[in-house]
Amino acid sequence: MSQLELLKSFIGQEFRVSPSPLMRWLNPTIISAKKGNLVFQYQVRPEWLNPIGNLHGGITAAIIDDILGATMFSLDEPAFFTTINNVIDYFSVAKPDQIIIAETFVIKHGKQFINAECNIWNNERTRLIAKGKSNFFKTEANNHNMSQKHIELSGNENLKQNYQNGIFN
């Protein structure tokens, strides 16, 4: 099963087999999954709030970063994607227990770099809550299976080393 097929097989369900521990904690329900275009749904939880009692911008940022990572996986490329940066603009609020929607898009798909964006909406998609964008750097991998809980990096210890130490090192 490809990574995209795995995502599709969880449409309508919580993505409890995500290889991202943070995603399992954020616990989204997959609404739709296409190559480079994911829609996930989340429910605002008590520990996600800011001092005023609304959704904390830090969780919004975490959701954006995490689903953008999953969007790279949906491309089914034999590569690792390192996030270079994340730029988030905050527009509106979400309340406790509110359902919010994250939708992603690939803006530019290069050989080495990918740029992608994420909109955070209220459940009816009538109000934009936040928008983020990231640049990703691709490193080719020999074996990269998202459906396994941990990612195997066989055959290229150098790559594994580089990836695990970060692109700036």
Asked if 59 interacts with a second copy (CB under 8 A), we say yes
Handedness of CA 118, 120, 124, 127 (dihedral sign): negative
Q: Is the dihedral of CA 51, 52, 57, 59 positive or negative?
A: positive
Closest approach of a second copy to the CB of residue 21, in Å: 4
Nearest approach in angstroms of CB 132 to a second copy is: 9
Which residues on neighbouring strands pair with residue 122, listed in sequence order? 100
Helix (H) or strand (E) holding 99: strand 99-109
Q: Which is nearer to a second copy, 91 or 125 (CB)?
A: 91
Quick one: 11 or 167, whose CB is closer to a second copy? Answer: 167
Q: How many CB atoms lie within 10 A of CB 49?
A: 16
CB nearer a second copy, residue 78 or residue 110: 110
Judged by CB under 8 A, does residue 17 bind a second copy?
no
Concatenating the DSSP letter of every residue in 104-133 gives EEEEEE-SSEEEEEEEEEETTS-SEEEEEE
Residues with Cβ within 8 Å of residue 110, at least 6 apart in sequence:
none
> Which residue of 17, 31, 62, 159 would you call a contact of a second copy, by CB under 8 A?
62
- The binding track of 115-144 with respect to a second copy, each residue x by CB under 8 A or -, is x------------x--x-x-x-x-------
Cβ at position 32, least distance to a second copy in Å: 21
Is there binding between residue 28 and a second copy (CB under 8 A)? no
Q: Which residues of 51-85 are buried (b: 16+ CB within 10 A; e: fewer)?
A: eeebbbeebbbbbbbbbbbbbbbbbbbebbbbeee
Which residues in this chain contact a second copy in the complex, by CB under 8 A?
Answer: 18-22, 24-25, 46-54, 56-59, 61-66, 69, 80, 82-93, 107-108, 110-113, 115, 128, 131, 133, 135, 137, 146, 150-151, 163-169
